Structure 1
Amino acid sequence: MRSKALILVAALASGAVVFAVPTDWRAPVLVALAVLAFGLYAVRERAALRALRDVGQRQSDRVNRDAGQLRIALAEQGEKLDAQAVQAARIEKAVAQTTALGKEIASLHVAATNETLAALRGHEEENRKRLNGFEEILGRSEKQLAGLLSSAEARRLNSGVLQGLEREFRQVEALLNLYATVTVREPLPPSRKWAMSPDLLAYLVSLVQVRKPSLIVELGSGLSSVWLGYALEKSGHAGRLISIEHDAEFLAKTRRMLADHGLDHLVELRHAPLSELTLDGESWPWYDRAAFASLSGIDLLIVDGPPAATRDHARYPALPVLSEQLASDAVVIMDDCVRQEETDIVSRWRDAYPGWNLEVLPHEKITSVLIR
């Protein structure tokens, strides 16, 4: 008996499974074979799905890892921005505090200056009243002395006292002008006596503002160095002051005073001990010449040293030593011409170095001004 076969094909995802079954088999066998075919198909599909799920899981893990790294980077960037914001806030606060402090200091300076000027004006008014009172007293005294002194003697006595009071008033007036011209930041020592008088100091400050000298040389440092420093600061031009001093202790005091007033950047102090100088066959105790070696084009020379006690006509070498280092339009100031020695020195200079014009100023100590 010829047997016939029933061809059963099970389609799978990756291909097909073919079973050849005899046609005369019973139906259960056919069903079993069909179930087996589709079971194989399901197994392969499950494996494919599992592989696809694994790929998806790996992709998800990678995305989560990248997202985590991005969150960390963003957090670090946020922390940096927060730190920068805190630093900026601190800087802004410091700037505000500095600005407020500057305003407070400026206000204190203005208040102190106004208080000083008010006090000086009060002193001026008080001196005026005293002067008027003295005039009345002297008027009465003149009448009382009329029987004892001749009228000429009484007038001479009265005139001498009034001149003395007038000199005092002129110095107070010059001091007021000084404080009105520049803003002084710290208290200053008294003027007059060994230091320059207020009238000469006021003249020098005015001279600096008008002529604007590039180089000032001062023989003898001290209070004048401070006022000249303030004058240079007020004028605003690129000038400097070289102050020559033979006394190391006095030089140190001047240096501290300049530092207290914030003027040490405008004034250079040079220590020049007195050494022997031969000039015109004479020996002079004079500043060490090395202190002047680098100076040229001196616009303003102020002669206030060496001290007169070192020898007679002690300041004479100033012009012979420095004449070649003076500018063509230089000004030379000689202080203390109330003394005959300084007057004689100026006369000798004019004889030895013609071409200088002389102006004598009626200051308390008499000032000689030589101008080319």
Structure 2
Amino acid sequence: MLSNKLRKLKKTIKEIDKIHRSNDDAYALQFILKLFPEYSYLPFTPFSLNPFTILHILNDILFNDRKQILEFGSGISTIIISRFIKINNLETKILSFDNNEGWLKIISKELEKYNCSESVNLVHSELSKHNKVTYKKYNNEYWYDLNEVNKNINTLTKKIDLVIVDGPSTDTSNYVRYTAIPVINEMLSKSYCIFLDDTKRPYEKEILLEWNIYLKGNLRYQKVYGTITKGDNFSTNPLSH
């Protein structure tokens, strides 16, 4: 009897949480759509960052004066962020990696349509097996091609002060996204913010915790994503719950 009531309570709490997240996304989308011409269609998919997450990123770019963004997993976020950079006349640059070449062609076309491609460098990088022990804490042997990633990161003229990790997919390992921070750690600025999507899943939540043990930053779990900040940063969460 008691167990049935607990199950019903958990289900109710979960449903209420979904309603809250939907409201947050609707709130965020109102601001995001103002960046685009009237009647524009933004191609959100089940794999896209939530609008609220993207709004948080936009706040962080503006208030903390981010100059170099590194993104693993290109998508709607790339389009919105680049448009935000264009509209606000920012000097911010984006280096974005994705392993799906066809998808990158779609993103590139959207960037051109909204005249905001100049701030973005889209890089196609296939997933490949690597032997770096420090990059595979959970025996995740696949990640973006390290030669391709390092080659492009080494061309950056500024330190990385904003990282967005929403890829690759977890087809090869539940912990495949862990590799991102060990690879780029030496290129991080003194002041930065890292966004990791999908922390509603236990694996991403654990990855973020492991990163923070390594980085010794300020970790915060949101509803569906998490952040690590370090250095002098303004709080940029769009809403206080």
TM-score (norm: length of structure 1): 0.54
User: Conserved in 2, the CA contact under 8 Å of 1:303 and 1:333?
Assistant: yes
Instruction: Go from structure 1 to structure 2 and tell me whether the alpha carbon gap of 1:185 and 1:327 turns closer, same or farther (over 3 Å shift).
Output: farther
Q: Does 1:198 align with 2:59?
A: no
How many pairs were matched up?
218
SS at match of 1:310: coil
Output the CA distance in 1 between the equivalents of 2:174 and 2:56.
27
Runs of 5+ in structure 1 lacking a partner?
A: 1-149
Q: Which residue, out of 335, 340, 343, partners 2:205?
A: 343
1:160-175 maps to which residues of 2 (within 5 A)? 160-175=14-29
SS at match of 2:141: strand
Per mean C-alpha deviation after superposition, the further-off stretch among 215-224 and 168-177 is 168-177
Provide the residue aligned with 1:369 in structure 2: 227
Percent of aligned pairs with the same amino acid: 22
Provide the residue aligned with 2:236 in structure 1: none
For 2:219, give the aligned amino acid: L
User: Conserved in 1, the CA contact under 8 Å of 2:140 and 2:175?
Assistant: no
Provide the residue aligned with 1:286 in structure 2: 143
RCO higher in structure (CA 8 A, sep ≥6): 2
User: Conserved in 1, the CA contact under 8 Å of 2:140 and 2:173?
Assistant: no
Instruction: Go from structure 1 to structure 2 and tell me whether the alpha carbon gap of 1:310 and 1:210 turns closer, same or farther (over 3 Å shift).
Output: same
Runs of 5+ in structure 2 lacking a partner?
A: 231-241
User: Conserved in 1, the CA contact under 8 Å of 2:71 and 2:165?
Assistant: yes
Provide the residue aligned with 1:303 in structure 2: 165
Output the CA distance in 1 between the equivalents of 2:5 and 2:201.
32
SS at match of 1:252: helix
Instruction: Go from structure 1 to structure 2 and tell me whether the alpha carbon gap of 1:338 and 1:219 turns closer, same or farther (over 3 Å shift).
Output: same
Output the CA distance in 1 between the equivalents of 2:57 and 2:181.
19
Output the CA distance in 1 between the equivalents of 2:186 and 2:10.
48
The structure with the larger Rg is: 1
Q: CA deviation at 1:261?
A: 1.1
Question: Larger helix proportion, structure 1 or 2?
Answer: 1
User: Conserved in 2, the CA contact under 8 Å of 1:174 and 1:198?
Assistant: yes
1:280-327 deviations in whole A, cap 9, x for unaligned? 274521112223322351111111111111212010110110001111
Instruction: Go from structure 1 to structure 2 and tell me whether the alpha carbon gap of 1:344 and 1:166 turns closer, same or farther (over 3 Å shift).
Output: closer
Provide the residue aligned with 2:219 in structure 1: 358
Output the CA distance in 2 between the equivalents of 1:184 and 1:212.
25
Provide the residue aligned with 1:276 in structure 2: 129
User: Conserved in 2, the CA contact under 8 Å of 1:191 and 1:198?
Assistant: no
For 2:67, give the aligned amino acid: S
- The alignment yields a C-alpha RMSD, in angstroms, of 2.4
User: Conserved in 1, the CA contact under 8 Å of 2:140 and 2:172?
Assistant: no
